[in-house]
Amino acid sequence: MPAPRRDLHELNRRSWNEATRAHNSHKGDQAAAFRSGGSTLFPEELDLLGPLEGRRLVHLQCNAGQDTLSLARLGAEVTGVDISDEAITFASRLSSESGIPARFVRADIYDWFAEAAAAGERYDLAFASYGAVCWLSDLPGWGRGIAGILAPGGAFVLVEFHPVAAMFDEELRLTWPYRSAEPFIGPGVGDYVAASREGLVPWGYQEGTTGFENPCQGAEFAHGTSDVIMALIEAGLVLEVFREYEYANGCRFFLRAELRDGRRFHLPPDTPAIPQMYALRARKPA
Amino acid symbol at 223: H
Q: What is the pLDDT of residue 244?
A: 98
Give the distance between the most distant pair of CA atoms in the chain: 54
How far is residue 175's CA from residue 192's CA, in Å, rounded to a whole number?
18
Give the number of other CB atoms < 10 A from CB of residue 50: 12
Give the model confidence (pLDDT) of 149-177 as tens digits: 999 999 999 999 999 999 999 999 999 99
Pairing between β-strand 264-266 and β-strand 247-249 as defined by DSSP bridges = antiparallel
Amino acid symbol at 119: A
All domains of the chain, ordered by start, with CATH?
A: 6-283 (3.40.50.150)
The pLDDT mean for the chain works out to 96
185 CA to centre of own chain: 20
121 CA to centre of own chain: 21
> Which stretch of DSSP H or E encloses residue 85?
helix 85-98
- Mean pLDDT in runs of 10 for the chain (286 residues)? 86 95 94 95 97 97 97 97 97 97 98 97 98 96 98 98 96 94 93 93 92 95 97 98 97 95 95 95 97
How far is residue 140's CA from residue 138's CA, in Å, rounded to a whole number?
6
Specify whether the CB–CB gap between 135 and 4 falls below 8 A: no
| Plot region of 63 (φ>0 → left; ψ -120 to 50 → alpha; else → beta) | left
CA atoms within 13 A on the CB side of 103: 9
Q: Is 54 helix (H, G, I), strand (E, B) or coil?
A: coil
Q: Is 220 helix (H, G, I), strand (E, B) or coil?
A: strand
Q: What is the pLDDT of residue 284?
A: 98
